[in-house]
Structure 1
Amino acid sequence: MKLLRYGDSGAEKWGVLDAEGQIRILDDALVHVTGDELSPEWLAHLVKLDPQTLPLLKTKPRIGPAVPRPLNFVGVGLNYADHAAETGGKIPKEPILFLKSLSSFSGPYDDIVIPPGSTKTDWEVELGVVIGTKASHVSEEAALDYVAGYCVVNDVSERSYQKERGGQWDKGKGCDTFGPVGPYLVTKDEVPDPQALALWTEIDGLRRQDGTTANMIFGVKTLVAYVSQFFTLHPGDIIATGTPAGVGMGIKPEPVFLRPGQEVRMGVQGLGEQRAKTVGG
């Protein structure tokens, strides 16, 4: 099932995509659905619904982030060997974690705002893992039991803020609009193997990233279990699992970064695609 959120920022409602790619309204159906949002019980009720029997959304609203604002928006750094190589980084012995500010959380078609004075704003397509059950100190064997589904994440990054402004990644990863999520939350029953998904990015129609989640250094099971050792993951939390090679700072002979007026398109196999314009802040 492909779930989505539509409406003005902060006032989004749940919808579901039908077989024809149309949005169906879930308002009335959710009244009869028990369990907390994104919990296994909640999802089990939803997957029994026939989208064709639900009211059709006849307007064309804004598509918001694929889940409500999370408590934790977790990023994983240097999780593809080819990306580590292009940036000159070493293969990490343990996952590198950082937190994206919740002010970065935005929709898949919302504008990406390049901060005033920024010269090194970059793109990163990533597989997002959405938590469905509260997770603390879970094992790798049980890790996927805590996952509700998957989505596309763009871990937009300002490289000078990230690397040249005091050594903390967060300030380069958490600027407003730097975390587009969606368009869909695809329930995990439709993604039998999260380590076998193609993912890609195009900037103004030019293919820049073309990778596969098979090349992750630390896979989804490992990441969910690992993150849960340090802080509790809550339903709706997102883990952005790292990006493959092809980011702007890795382009030779000279890095290429985003500027206002460009189109950023990216997608993950089976999870839909994002399409955003860049604007000056």
Structure 2
Amino acid sequence: MEKRIFQRIGLVGAGLIGGSIAAALGRRIADAALIVHDASPGNAAYVAERHPNGSTGQFADMADCDAIFVATPVASIPGQVEALLALGGDTLVIDTGSAKAEIVSAIAASGVDAARFVPGHPLAGGISTGPGHSTPDIITARPFVLTPSEATAPAALTKARALLETLGAHVVEMDAEAHDQLLARGSHLPHLIAFALAEFAEEEVRDLLPASFRGISSYAASDPRMWADIFRANREGLAEALETFKKRLDLIAAMADEPTPGNLLETLETAKARIDALENDA
């Protein structure tokens, strides 16, 4: 599929991910027109002005787009996708939400024809938010997961893959439930732990807290509203991951209470080996 097929692209959401998608589009498909919409007109203008062919607009202005990205908070995605699909035509719609099953379920329950909707999620981002921190490197050469639903047309999935690969993303396909289980353990649980750990950052000891605490708890500096939405949207997957984690904590704590360190040492060495392997793969 050639780049010229994507001549007009819409973007709903001008935050970190939306801004990074726009930057990747500007790098890889600079001749395509980009129409940006955001609840904050200032953010929309900021992102549009940094694209060679960018402009701001409303949903109606995206009716003839070849593709539209929806990069907004998880709670708002279903309604926005429904509205965009209701415009008709053959426009491809891709979202970027961090919890997929609830979005897929909400779209199915709405009764809208979802053949042109391809649920997605770029495995990128970080603590910083807002378009000022956006960069094409968040999209390029990074995994972008697609979780097609039963309603997703094969042609739409093929088109979404082609667009994302044009942007330089590494496209991975999996079902929504598998995605949510993976993200519950790999992203949502670590953030939940960080927010909980921040309770110990009391003023009287703040200056004494070491780098280990600051490193783990630093993800509590993320956008609270965004993460409240994510925790709620993936509450089942998060609860399962948390239960497994609690059992692991209890097991390690019990080992620390044993008279000899054999089991504890072996467990910690295994954990270190896993992290060393993870770092070597990075």
Q: How does the TM-score come out when normalised to structure 2?
A: 0.23
Tell which has more relative contact order, 1 or 2 (C-alpha 8 A, sep 6+). 1
Structure ranking higher in strand proportion: 1
Structure ranking higher in helix proportion: 2
Q: How does the TM-score come out when normalised to structure 1?
A: 0.23
Of structures 1 and 2, the larger Rg is shown by: 2
